[in-house]
Amino acid sequence: MWIRLLELAHGSDHDNAGTEIWSTQQNIDVVARAVIRCFDEVVREYGESAYRGKWGEHFPRTELEALRTAWREHRGGWATSATPSNP
């Protein structure tokens, strides 16, 4: 995965109008684990009900669980493909 953090004068501007302030190339496993860990920590620290008051949105429980499921399935595929076949 290539991740770029851009500073845009207006949020609706095209990426080409932004200034890159940080970028990284990471394995998808690393990114998924980091996102899941961060949201798990936020919910542990603040709780889902306080999340909206702090960030103005409902806690993205459905999206988090979908990411967690996709990540586990992806990891399972890696384990299967990395395991040598038995003749």
Q: DSSP H helical segments within 1-87, as ranges?
A: 28-55, 61-82
Tokens found for residue 10: 């207006």
Regarding pTM above 0.95, the answer is no
pLDDT in tens, 36-87: 999 999 999 999 999 999 999 999 999 999 999 999 998 887 544 444 443 3
Mean pLDDT over 27-39 rounds to 95
| 7 Cβ contact partners less than 8 Å away, ≥ 6 residues apart | 18, 19, 21
- Ramachandran region, residue 71 (left: φ > 0; alpha: ψ -120 to 50; beta: rest): alpha
